[in-house]
Amino acid sequence: MLTARFAALRAANRRALVCYVTAGHPDRDASLALVQGLADAGADVIELGVPFSDPVADGPVIQASSQRALDAGMTLDGTLEIAARAGSAVPLVLFSYLNPLLAAGPDVLVRAAQAGVAGLLVTDLPVGADPEREGWIGEGPLAFVRLVAPTTPTERMALIARDGGGFVYLISRLGVTGARAELPPDLPATIERLRAVCALPLCVGFGVSSPDQARAVGDLADGVVVGSAIVSAAERSIDGAIGFVRSLRAAMDAP
């Protein structure tokens, strides 16, 4: 489903808008409504975040949303229930740390696929860190979306690209997630370096927080990932978050 989505976007000369949602934030029903609303608002891929007690790669906004969801009883199984109930017309990518996946049992990847999930991104499982578990995911039914950092050597970029599926998520800057006022100046060079060794679509995230930034990244990459800004907007209003995503899509599509 991810491959078909990116192929259709490429044929239409459009860029993917990848939107992150924390499952269970601000509550279970609201996150379901947000997932359903984002597809209509122009999202091409939705990352459904599994709340985790120690989200070390996430900034304060997503950390707080994760804790709120956990406090309300959200789990990985609850996340899959939201995915199944959403019946999303666009691909869903499960965004998780490794521990919740291991705790959910060896059939979790199959259950995720049955719930309508198309891909999996594991934030704390870099290439080569655990070949057995990487093989388990890579041989499963979900596209294994991989992360690349701006400091990743080119040779390792090539290895990550060969090992991944769906698309490659390029982290635009070091540090944790969160909205930023400006894009990093070395982003174009990093994208060019990754493109030289990667045939998968490239989506850029970490810090994109405005329509102008989304358009600027879309001019460079195959897709734009927006997370903290959507989660922050959802904290105030689900309708507001959906409207914000509409503004991102409009900016990316503007002639």
DSSP string, 86-107: HT-SS-EEEEE-HHHHHHT-TT
pLDDT at site 184: 73
In the prediction, which pLDDT does 163 show? 87
Encoding tokens for residue 217? 């990244």
Of 102, 51, 105, 55, nearest to 79 by C-alpha is 51
Overall average pLDDT of the 219-240 stretch? 96
Tell me, what's the pLDDT at 177? 46
d(Cα 204, Cα 186) in Å, to the nearest integer? 13
Give the integer Cα–Cα distance in Å for 183 and 22.
24
The predicted-structure confidence for 48-97, as pLDDT tens digits, reads as follows: 999 998 877 677 899 999 999 999 999 999 999 999 999 999 999 999 99
Averaged confidence pLDDT in the chain: 93
* CB burial of residue 120 (10 Å; 0-12, 13-18, 19+): buried
Confidence of residue 207 (pLDDT cuts 50, 70, 90): confident
Q: Could you read off the pLDDT of 83-123 as tens digits, one per residue?
A: 999 999 999 999 999 999 999 999 999 999 999 999 999 99
Model pLDDT, residue 176: 41
Helix axis angle for 187-195 and 154-163, nearest 10°, is 60
Average confidence (pLDDT) over 151-156: 93
Residue 197 clears pLDDT 80, i.e. is over it: yes
pLDDT at 213: 92
Return the residue matching tokens 């975040």. 49
pLDDT at 179 over 90: no
CB 19 within 8 A of CB 230: yes
pLDDT at 59: 78
Predicted confidence at residue 173, as pLDDT, reads: 62
Q: pLDDT at residue 174 above 90? A: no
What is d(CA 128, CA 114) in angstroms, rounded to the nearest whole number? Answer: 28
**What is the structure's pLDDT at 54?**
81
- For residue 111, the one-letter residue type is R
Look up residue 51 and give its DSSP letter.
P
How far apart CA 35 and CA 94 sit, in angstroms, is 13
Runs of H (alpha helix) within 150-237: 154-163, 187-195, 211-218, 228-236
Residues known to be catalytic: 47, 58
Confidence category of residue 182, pLDDT binned at 50, 70, 90: low
